[in-house]
Each structure stands twice: as C-alpha cells, then as structure tokens.
Structure 1
Amino acid sequence: MRHYLGKIAKHDMVNAFGVTVLPAGTLLREEHLILLEKHGIDNLSMFFEAARSEPAPAKSPREAVGGIVERAKALYAAIQETGQVPLKELEAEVVPAVQNVANHPNIFELFEAVKAQGDYTYEHNIGVGVLSTMIGRWLNFGEEELTALTIAATLHDVGKVKIPEAIINKPGKLTEDEFELVKKHAIYGYEILKKTEGVSYRAALVALQHHEREDGGGYPLGLTSDNIDPFSKIVAVADIFHAMSSDRPYHKALPFYEVVRQLREGYFGQLDPTIVSVFLENITTKLVGQRCLLTDERVGEIVYINPHDGEAPLVKVGEEFVDLSCERKLQIKRIIGI
C-alpha cells in the first residue's frame, strides 16, 4: 500500500459496506493509510486506476479544458498542502490533455475555450499551458522539448499557492503592498519547483522569469533579454495574451483588436519580437472565413487579409463589404470562434 503515498485517488475509496472513507481527489498520506487499514481496505489499485468503459464521445474544446481545470485544482491543492508537485499525475493526466487540446484545428474556437470564465487562477494556468504549447508547435519544437514547455507553462504560476486567496481574487485594484506580495509568487514558484524531485530546472526558471521583460523592466530580478530563458519568453507572450483576453477579478476581457495592438506594441522592448511575430502571424493567416463581431455590434465574415495591415481585413457584412483599413473607426471586437 505504501507505494500509493503521494498519489491522488481517482475514485471514492469505500469500505465493504459502501461507505466512503476518502473521497476522490484525496492526496494519500500516512494518516490515510491508517484509516484505510481500520476499515479493512487493503486493495487500493481500483481507486487509482482510470475507469474502463466504452470510448466517450468527443468533447468540445471548452468541455475538455473544463475537465483539465478540475484536475489541476486537485493537483494545486496537493501542492498547497505538501509544498511538492505531484509530478507523475501531472505528466500522466494534465500534460497529455493540454497537448491534445492545443492541437485543435480552429485556434479561435480554442481561444474561446481557454478564456477564464470564473475560476481565473486555475483556468489561467491551463490556458497558458495550452497557448504556450501552440506556440511551441509553431516554433517547430520536438516532442521532448514541447513536453518540457507544456509542464513549465502549466506550472508557471505555482507560487501563487503561497499568496492569500483574498489578495489573488481581490475584485478591486491592489494596494502597493499587496502588489509587492503578489510579485513574490515568481520567487515562491521557483523555490517550489527547484526542490521538487524530477522537475526540470527550466520549469523553475519559467516560474521565476515569466514576468521578466526584454528591456529589463520586468520582475522580480529585472533581467534583460540575454538572461531570460526562451521558455520564459514564450510563456510571457501566452500569459499576457490569456490575461488580456479573459475576464479577471478587476477588469473585463479586452476586445480582440486591443489585445492584438498591445501584443504588437510589446515588440518594442518588452516581449521577444520573434515569438510575438510567430504568434500574430499564425492568428492573422487563419482569420479568413472566420465570423467576427465589429465594434458597431454588426456581425460579418472576414474574406480578405490586407497584406500591409493584417489586423484590418475586408469583412463581408450582409451584402456589404467593409474595408477596415479604410473604416478606421471600426475594429474587430471579437472573433466568433464557435
């Protein structure tokens, strides 16, 4: 039984009378083994194995992301309790699921799926994992390097387990002291990952560096481009895109045109220009055929990309063609990804 210590139960652990002794999601500790022994439960394999059943129907990206988020909650609860990352569970359950979702052919449907819609902290971790994995594929990473990136990105904010939830979820603007405390999550995450056996040092660096900026204006160390790990640069882009695209406790999601504009402005000193370029280019080239909501609330279909102004395409609205490169008062408010 002892080899199950530190693992998370996938099913309720019940005794011979059908009484639940430990619920699914429990991180098994010494005191739990004693409790199970008292109830005469000595065969634990059935509680840790995935249920065997007929293949389930394919899930939508949003359903798939929701399932990953629920699993991530249990893992983060374990990290908060033990200070260690349940790496085997992360690698076996979360990482393959994140990579599978990141492979969805319609990136705009995927962007909708990963937007935080309530439980920001956990949805953000998974969203950044998915987006970083997408960028890694666009940069032609091999499978081993891609898996390392997925792990690092999914754990980038792990240090927030040491920040009070009242501050993390505060609906209003943080005070200066609160913000200084929140910024420490980068160092806390580095310390947690550095001491977790089996976690790569690069994952620890991503936790430490994902708020660093190319010009040295980030935190916690004010590093400049040459001293920032490439994984950290990728996660920084994914982190910013996801944060701007999602509803958060203290602000609503920004419209599509504003997200793109701010990312492009990040070229100039803050973000790695190659990574931003690859990210925006892959978005722009996939816009044709997508339905969109304009800032005047009309819905149209993007039919042509202006080669000189990728964020101002030609949009068909009803029988009318609207050239956004000429109609400067109009912008794309949202891509209708579903």
Structure 2
Amino acid sequence: MPSISVAEVKPGSKIIKDVNTPLGGLLFTKGKVILPRDIEILQAFLVQYVEIEGTQSENKAPEPSKTAAKATPVKAGATVDESLLAKNNSTLHDEYDKMLALVKQIYRSVAAAPLPILEIRSQLEALINELKDYHVLKFSPRVIHEEDYNYHNAVLSALTSYKIAQWCGYPQKDWMQAAFAGLLHDIGNAKVDASLLQKPSPLTGAELEEVRRHTTYGYQLLRNVTAINEGVRLAALQHHEKIDGSGYPLRLEGTQIHFYAKIVAVADIFHAMTLRKAYRKAQSPYLVLEQILAESFGKLDPVIVQTFIQKTTDLYNGTRIKLSDGRHGEIIFTDRSNPTRPMVQVDGKIVNLMVERDLHIKEIIA
C-alpha cells in the first residue's frame, strides 16, 4: 500500500507498517488504530509519511526505499515532546486499558452482582507484571475522559499503592493486597448519585454527607467478598481517616487506622489532585507532593509520605522538565531535604527552585 502524508491521516485509520521516528526508534506498531492524540505524536516526532490501510494511489508519497536513506533529521533547536511517548502502544498501557475497562464494568454492576474477583485478580496481576515501566510522576494514560475520573483514580491508586507497600518494606504478601485496596477503595462511589460526584459548584451539607457515605458503602459492598483480606475492606472504609482523628467516617486516630488505608490515602490524594476532573484542572504533581508533605504533619502517616516523596522524586540528573512559566530545562541537582525543589538548568542558567518559590516543576518530560 502507498504512504500518505501525516497531515492527511484521519483518526480511526489503521497503520499497516511499523512507524519509526526519523532517528530510527519504534513509535507505533503495525495494526494500531490512530487516535487524535497519536496524530500529535507523529507531528511532534517529525514523521513525514505513514502507511495506512485502504490508502488510494493518488495520495502516494515517494517510495519508502527512496525516502528511508533521506529520513528527515530532527531540526536543530526543535522541541520534541517525549512525554507524548507515554501515549504509545506499550504493554503497560495495554494492560492498563484492560484494567480500566474492567473497573468500569465493576462499577456499573457491583450493586446488583457479585464482584468478579478472580477476573479482577488475573487482570491486576497482568498489570503489576508491567510495573517496571511505571513511574508515578511520568506515567500518563493514553486517553483520559473527565467522566472516567473515578476509574482512572482506581487503577492508578492500585499501581501506586503496590509501589508504596514495596518501598516501605512491608512483607511481599501485602503488596498485592495493597494494590487491591487501591483499586477498590472508592468502590462505594458506585452507590452515590453521579451528579454529586460531578457537581462543579460547592456541595451542600446534605450532599457532602451523602458523598462521604461512599466509605461505608464501599465496606458494605466488600464485606462478603472472598479472596481479599480485611485490610482491603478497611481501606475502603478508612482511607479518609486522619492520624489526628479529624477524618471520616469514624474519626479514628493513629494506630486505629489500617496501614493499607494509610497507604491508599497517600495514593488517592496524589492521583485525585493530578487527574483532571470535570470541574477542576489537573494540578502539578510537584505542587501536590508539597501539599501531601504538609498533610504529613498530623493528617497522613509521615513515614509513608516521606518514603513516597523520596522515591518518586529520585530522578536522575538530566531529567527534562517543564516549569510553571512554560520554560523547559533539566534537573541538575536535588537536595534530598527538599526533593520537590531541585536545581534546574534553563537556557544555560541555574534556577534554584528552593529560592525561586514562585516557580515549580509543572511536568516531567523525559
């Protein structure tokens, strides 16, 4: 089949030959169906032509054999947004999408049918098997629709809770159960009026009380489910409890809160604030980490918070980032006592984020 210009590619088209970047890296594999975001990726990597199923001869481009040797190099000074690679056809993303679809199914049926716990476990294990490619600050789902916020929060919280359990040195038998706790912590929202969960204006007292009941609803839904332990059920009930007793629904304190719930609380807050909602923009992960750190003084478990922040910000020097003022730069030094505010090199100059408090890292690029 002939190739067509990327400018002519339409969403829904099917690629019939692997697509490589001008420098030879694999971008998309044969058989992929193009999504709107994928066109942006092709353009960002300066790909000129792709081979699409059903292309007509009048769109024919120069023969691949003639163009391959003259592949367009990346232009000097061009900015290639490598964060778009998070949208590509990786196995992690494949398993993530399957888990997301299963969570949607669960939310829609949980009030009337038993949880398909064996299917959930099987897919969760398949997802965890790809954990080596998951970085909390870097990973982004392929597509996020605002109305799917609860489902994305569930899957991301599962991945992050598993990592936190590992990082904190809990026994290996707790890692998968912590992932279950993250996945199912908000299952009670399935019984809450969706209009309240999506409401853009402040909730009334009665509405807020109903939304908060998702914790008890969740425990009730999980109470008779086998193959999960009591900690998973308690995480659904307790993930909004606070160390100082100011949380809900039972105003528990410190050691009264199950450690799965303490893990999930950190994961949930991070993803709840960094995911876009219908009524609120996504927030910078670095600013969210700073807010979580502030919450560790009396609200969240301080050991879990410190471990989470240290591990997620343990990025190598040279990591490319985007600042809140739009400039791009590279991390050159991180003071482990201030991990969310490293020194960054921007246009040949050093920006010390510990000093320039009006700036923050908005995004990890690569």
* TM-score interval for Structure 1 and Structure 2 normalised by the shorter chain: 0.7 to 0.9
**Counterparts of residues 124-273 of structure 1 (less than 5 Å):** 124-273=153-302
Identity across the alignment (%) = 33
Cα separation, 1, equivalents of 2:244 and 2:110: 33
Shift of 1:284: 2.3
Select which of 76, 89, 100 maps to 2:119. Answer: 89
Tell me the distance in 2 between the aligned counterparts of 1:216 and 1:282: 28
Equivalent residue letter for 2:340: E
* Structure 1 position 85, deviation (Å): 1.6
Tell me by how many angstroms 1:219 deviates. 0.4
Deviations 1:196-231 (A, max 9, x none): 233322111111000101010110000001100001
Number of aligned pairs?
278
Q: CA deviation at 1:144?
A: 2.2
Alpha-carbon distance in structure 2 between the residues aligned to 1:79 and 1:331: 41
Change (3 A) 1:169 1:62: farther
CA 1:107–1:165 in structure 2 vs 1: closer, same or farther (change >3 Å)? closer
Q: Output the TM-score relative to the length of structure 2.
A: 0.71
* Root-mean-square deviation (Å): 2.2
User: Does the 8 Å CA contact 1:102/1:131 hold for their aligned counterparts?
Assistant: no
Structure 2 residue identity aligned to 1:291: R
Residue in 2 that maps onto 1:276: 305
In structure 2, stretches of 5+ residues that fail to align are: 1-87
Q: Is the 8 A contact 1:314 1:322 kept in 2?
A: yes
Aligned partner of 2:364 in structure 1 is 335
Question: Kindly tell me: are residues 122 and 106 of structure 1, through their superposed partners in 2, closer, same or farther at Cα, counting changes over 3 Å?
Answer: closer
1:35 aligned partner: none
Partners of 2:92 and 2:127 within 8 A in 1: no
For structure 1, list consecutive stretches of 5 or more residues without a partner in the other structure. 1-56
Deviations 1:168-218 (A, max 9, x none): 222332222111001011001111111223332211111100010101011
CA distance in 2, matches of 1:124, 1:141: 23
Tell me if the contact between 2:219 and 2:233 (Cα under 8 Å) persists in the aligned partners. Answer: yes
Q: Please report how far the alpha carbon of residue 150 of structure 1 lies from its aligned counterpart in structure 2 after TM superposition.
A: 1.2
Residue 105 of structure 2 corresponds to residue 74 of structure 1: yes
- Which residue of structure 2 lines up, in the alignment, with residue 12 of structure 1? none
Shift of 1:114: 8.9
* Cα distance in 1, alignment partners of residues 143 and 130 from structure 2: 13
Cα separation, partners in 2 of 1:105 and 1:238, compared to 1, 3 Å: closer
User: Residue in 2 aligned with 1:37?
Assistant: none
CA contact under 8 A between 1:98 and 1:126: conserved in structure 2? no
Instruction: Please give the alpha-carbon distance, in whole angstroms, between the structure 1 residues aligned to 2:159 and 2:134.
Output: 13
Contact 1:75 1:90 in 2 (8 A): no
1:256–1:287 Cα change, 3 Å:
farther
